[in-house]
Amino acid sequence: MASSLESTLTRAWLRRGPLALALWPLSLLFRLLAALRVTLFRAGILKSERLPVPVIVVGNIFIGGTGKTPLTIWLVAQLRAAGMTPGVISRGHGGEGDSGPREVLPGSSAREVGDEPLLIGMRSGCPVVVGRRRFDAGRHLLERHPEVDVLVTDDGLQHYALQRDVEVVLFDGRGVGNGWTLPAGPLREPPSRRRDFTVVNTPELTPALALAVGGRPYRMQLAGEYAEQLRDPRQRLPLSTLAETMAGKRIVAAAGIGNPARFFGMLKAAGLRIEELPLPDHHDFLDDPFKDLDAELILITEKDAVKCRQLEHLNNDPRLWVVPVNAQIDAALAAQIVEKCRGRPTA
């Protein structure tokens, strides 16, 4: 029932149809309350705290997945290349973030810290701490890693209790949907919301899409070049080779991410003929959706792989192959973010 409701709303949010119009009065109330909350923080009535190092927020106003995790991993690498020592803080969606700040360690489980922070820690190699209150998570990280001189917040754009120095707002090819805020549309805040930088995760940034999101956007593209076997990552094949060797065989692509269509589209663009298996975002895989699946190859995302590796029956399934992706963005974006961070006054 929940999945059906989500699908109905997702379709309604892309146009101004009957359902969206019926919900529009509620969206006006939502927008008013969101604006009031921002005003209370700016007036100091609601408390907002500052950490002693620059804070970069990577977030979105479009509800659901737009590609924040790959963007965060890319940004960490760019900051490190610029001579900085980054750390990452996150809410830890899907994990036990309510228990207070918790550092993501090599032996952490996705159930404890969340799938996305676990993936960021594995891919970036930088300190990652999760916690419901970003300020507490940041302080916890800095106490344990005093060498860190810049923090990237994975998500948390609307978490105004933590002051930030740079805001990066990420969209994907859906743009702003029908342009309305929740519940009549997919937006947490109006498209006119201020930000420092705008990024759009899309194969093609059309003039209409750029105009819709605003902010002189940078284009981001997620590229996957190969797949590696889940149980033995040394077994690696280019996607083009997989497309040739598996021609005529049943390939299923599964994705428990915010926008599975993006993953499926990337695989099809690589020449793979796949059957799509979209899963709920942050799917825990305890129910094993592959148990009765008649397929010779199952391609999954990195985000799903961090959970599948921690379940013995899935980790040993030879059909499961992971497709890592990397964000490709104009390096000028990183240079401007670094410049803003270095120009920040010392707290």
Q: Which parts of the chain are beta strand (E)?
A: 55-59, 86-90, 102-103, 128-130, 150-154, 166-172, 197-201, 218-223, 226-229, 236-238, 251-255, 275-278, 297-301, 320-323, 326-329
Q: Is 4 exposed, middle or buried (0-12, 13-18, 19+ CB in 10 A)?
A: exposed
Count CA within 13 A, CB hemisphere, residue 140. 19
Give the residue numbers of the binding site.
Answer: 62-69
User: What is the secondary structure of 207-224 as a DSSP string?
Assistant: HHHHHHH-S-PEEEEEE-
pLDDT of amino acid 190:
93
Could you report the per-residue pLDDT of 159-195, keeping only the tens digit for each?
Answer: 999 999 999 999 999 999 999 999 999 999 999 999 9
Query: What number of other Cβ atoms are within 10 A of residue 97's Cβ?
Result: 21
pLDDT of amino acid 35:
95
Strands 197-201 and 128-130: unpaired
Task: State which amino acid sits at residue 282.
Answer: H
Would you give per-residue pLDDT tens digits along the chain (347 residues)?
A: 555 666 778 888 999 999 999 999 999 999 999 999 999 999 999 999 999 999 999 999 999 889 999 999 999 999 999 999 999 999 986 555 456 899 999 889 998 999 999 999 999 999 999 999 999 999 999 999 999 999 999 999 999 999 999 999 999 999 999 999 999 999 999 999 999 999 999 999 999 999 999 989 999 999 999 999 999 999 999 999 999 999 999 999 999 998 899 999 999 999 999 999 999 888 999 889 999 999 999 999 999 999 999 999 999 999 999 999 999 999 999 999 999 999 866 44
User: What is the secondary structure of 252-290 as a DSSP string?
Assistant: EEEE-SS-HHHHHHHHHHTT---EEEE--TT---TT-TT
Cα distances from 217 to residues 166, 194, 205, 326, 329, in angstroms, run 15, 13, 9, 19, 11
* Rounded Cα–Cα distance for residues 132 and 137 (Å): 8
* Rounded Cα–Cα distance for residues 227 and 254 (Å): 13
Give the residue numbers of the binding site for ATP.
Answer: 62-69
* Rounded Cα–Cα distance for residues 28 and 184 (Å): 9
Contact at 8 Å (CB) between 141 and 127? yes
Joined tokens for residue 327? 């964000």
Question: In the chain, helix, strand, coil percent, each to 5?
Answer: 35, 20, 45
Could you report the per-residue pLDDT of 252-273, keeping only the tens digit for each?
Answer: 999 999 889 999 999 999 999 9
